[in-house]
Amino acid sequence: MYQTWACISFLHWSYPVEVVARLLPPGLAVHELDGRAWVGLTPFVLGDLRTPVAPAPPWFARFPETNVRTYVVGPDGREGLWFLSLDAARLEPVLVARTAYALPYKWAAMTVERDGPLVRYRSRRRWPGPVPAASSVTVEVGAALSPGELSQFDHHLTARWQLYTRVGPLLARAGVDHEPWPLHRAAVRELDSDLVTAGGLPPPEGEPVVHWSPGVRTRISAWRPLGRANR
């Protein structure tokens, strides 16, 4: 399928590797950096949803979404994403994604508003649990970062080209193709969220590392089974 991920903020905290590893299925390992695991809270607007055949109806194709994700290495040696939760504001895509992509999507009441450099993201989970789970984030967008200013650390937190899921006993991988993220400096001006803890982690410590992007157009491939995920 094709999607646009727009007006996206990346908020990241580090965790001990063993804390994140216990949430991963067999076959996946934490992709650590400097001996730490990283977990991201990423609110954005999903738009232009379509299949290779035809676009989705307008009421179906655009809605806010907020993901909690971490970074992994699969049994095939590829680096990718593992989602702890994906909250979205449109019920019908949530039901489709839970069925077709076996991803832990949740239905939520969500808004994204922009006022100059300030972007406000609001989310309150509706179904399924754990309920309540909510998030209020305001980010102030700064100057664009040139490619020469981006470090390995910036790429580690944002540049991911695979995602993994578990389909019954099978671990599966899908490719995620898009241009490099156009990243901006950003700072958090408000943060009140329990989505990370609802995903099974302890409360994050310290201030998050923050990036923002106007977005990219993406292509997500069909799942490729990688073998049984059970031990």
CATH number of 2-228: 1.20.58.100, 1.10.8.50, 3.30.930.10, 2.40.400.10?
2.40.400.10
Q: What's the mean pLDDT when you consider all of the chain?
A: 93
Q: How many residues does the chain have?
A: 231
Neighbouring-strand partners of residue 79: 73
pLDDT at 229: 62
pLDDT in tens, 31-47: 999 999 999 999 999 99
Question: What does R_g of the chain's alpha carbons equal in angstroms?
Answer: 17
Q: ω before 208 within 30° of 0 (cis)?
A: no
Burial letters 117-137, b for 16+ CB under 10 A, else e? eebbbbbebbeeeeeebbbeb
Which pLDDT belongs to residue 231? 47
CB contact at 8 A, 83 and 163: yes
Residue 230 — pLDDT band, cuts 50, 70, 90?
low
> What is the mean predicted confidence (pLDDT) over 33-62?
86
Mean pLDDT of 157-161: 95
Residue 227 binned pLDDT confidence (cut-offs 50, 70, 90): confident
Q: How confident is the model at residue 101 (pLDDT cuts 50, 70, 90)?
A: confident
Stretch 11-37: mean pLDDT:
97
Q: What is the pTM of this model?
A: 0.94
| HSE-up (13 A, CA, CB side) for residue 118 | 6
Give me the percent of the chain exceeding a pLDDT of 90. Answer: 81
- Residue 58 makes CB contacts below 8 A (sequence gap 6+) with none
- Residue 53 in this model has a pLDDT that exceeds 80: no
**Gap between the Cα atoms of 191 and 208, Å rounded:** 10
Q: Give me 181's structure tokens.
A: 């993220």
Between 26-30, 72-76, 90-94, 188-192, the lowest mean confidence (pLDDT) is in 90-94
